Amino acid sequence: MSRNPATRSTRLRRSVLSVPAINPRALEKTHAVDCDAVIFDLEDSVAPEKKVEARENLRRFFSDRPLENKERIIRINGLSTDFGSADMELVTALGPDAVLLPKVDEPQDVTDISDLLAEAYAPDDLRIWAMIETPRGILNAAAITEAGRTPGSRLDCLVVGLNDLRKETGVPAQPGRGYLVPWLMQVVLAVSAYGLDAIDSVFNDFRDEQGFDAECRQGRAMGFAGKMLIHPAQIEPANRYFGPSAEEIAEAEAIITAFADPASAGLNVINSGGRMVERLHLVQAEALVHKARLISARKPA
């Protein structure tokens, strides 16, 4: 069921900015920032007595001026809460690109939302993102992604939430995230098996530039598609670290050119710049160049 990595995602998700729906000024600023995606948060960043106001803020924002060139995701409250049903009504009314479910523990959580969207006749391109932020969510990551690839499911992306996971496990917030790396890699492995994307967790101190850079480098090396952000100052470095470098693009283009040579026809292994490369490297090169083209296409004129 996994898709070709070169065409796995038609969207960029290097920088995913979370914005509290209760803050109209922050909502308006999303038009000007250069992130790939925006999560409009109705959950953790909105106090219970402000939930109705936050929904109305989003309703006005979506109707006033469309958010262009960015993926739009609405994070709802859990369906078991007093606010989840009203949040889902708003999602189906506004038609964002995706709905983000908090604290997904098991496949049924995704199936239930898929069924609700189908019952509401939501368009097929309204996708589901899942927050993996509990011990059960980590343990069930593979089952969740597998269920998300069944017919009728809309699952498209997993987002790791380390703040809640640290709280539930007692693992401290330390540089390098040493004790958390096995859990992070478990999520990356799950999405890779079924052709989805994974977004790395937020970095809480937006003033710590060196710490953020190090975590971006780590997340990119792990295989995350991008990072969830809490402040616009984090957008540029996230775009840089989770996007291909000029050197990587040049190397990928050289591999593609080498395999396009008629002399390489029918060969699974060739010499490219003094290095032996296989056709699996061609697939990786095509994926990287595809991503570079998406980045180039979304840059302001």
DSSP assignment letter at 49: G
C-alpha–C-alpha distance, residues 213 and 211, integer Å? 5
Q: Which residues are within 8 A (CB) of 124 and not within 5 positions of it... i.e. 6 or more apart? A: 154
H/E stretch holding 19 reads strand 15-20
168 annotated binding-site participant: no
Write down the residue that tokens 């390489």 correspond to. 264
97 annotated binding-site participant: no
Report DSSP letters for 85-136, one per residue: HHHHHHHHHH--SEEEESS--SHHHHHHHHHHHHHTT--TT-EEEEEE-SHH
Q: What is the largest CA-CA distance in the chain?
A: 69
Q: Which residues are within 8 A (CB) of 44 and not within 5 positions of it... i.e. 6 or more apart? A: 102
* Chain-centroid distance, C-alpha 250: 26
236 annotated binding-site participant: no
Integer-rounded Cα radius of gyration of the chain:
20
Task: Provide the annotated binding site.
Answer: 75, 133, 164
Task: Provide the annotated binding site for Mg(2+).
Answer: 133, 164
Task: Provide the annotated binding site for substrate.
Answer: 75, 133
